[in-house]
Structure 1
């Protein structure tokens, strides 16, 4: 899980998987590490539940 910043200054949550990258959208409401951990766990659960370890 990554806390990413675009060249336009927007903050995103993303994840690198076997053959690609998943963007989970804008990182709204993330102001500290604890907020990031909560959001990262939500996104990681989505990857696991939907078997998104590699993009098809």
Structure 2
């Protein structure tokens, strides 16, 4: 069931869409006020950097 997992557990199969997916996930999570642990937040920031080159 992919709906309950985030980008730390599952990424789209198309590498060209992964950056957009992670950025969208972070934006939606922030807009809904979803709380992540400090380690999850660090991992998402690192993943964003790797996938998006930032």
More helix by share: 2
Higher RCO (C-alpha 8 Å, min separation 6): 2
Q: TM-score range by the shorter chain?
A: 0.3 to 0.5
- TM-score (ref. length: structure 2): 0.41
More strand by share: 1
Larger Rg: 1 or 2? 1
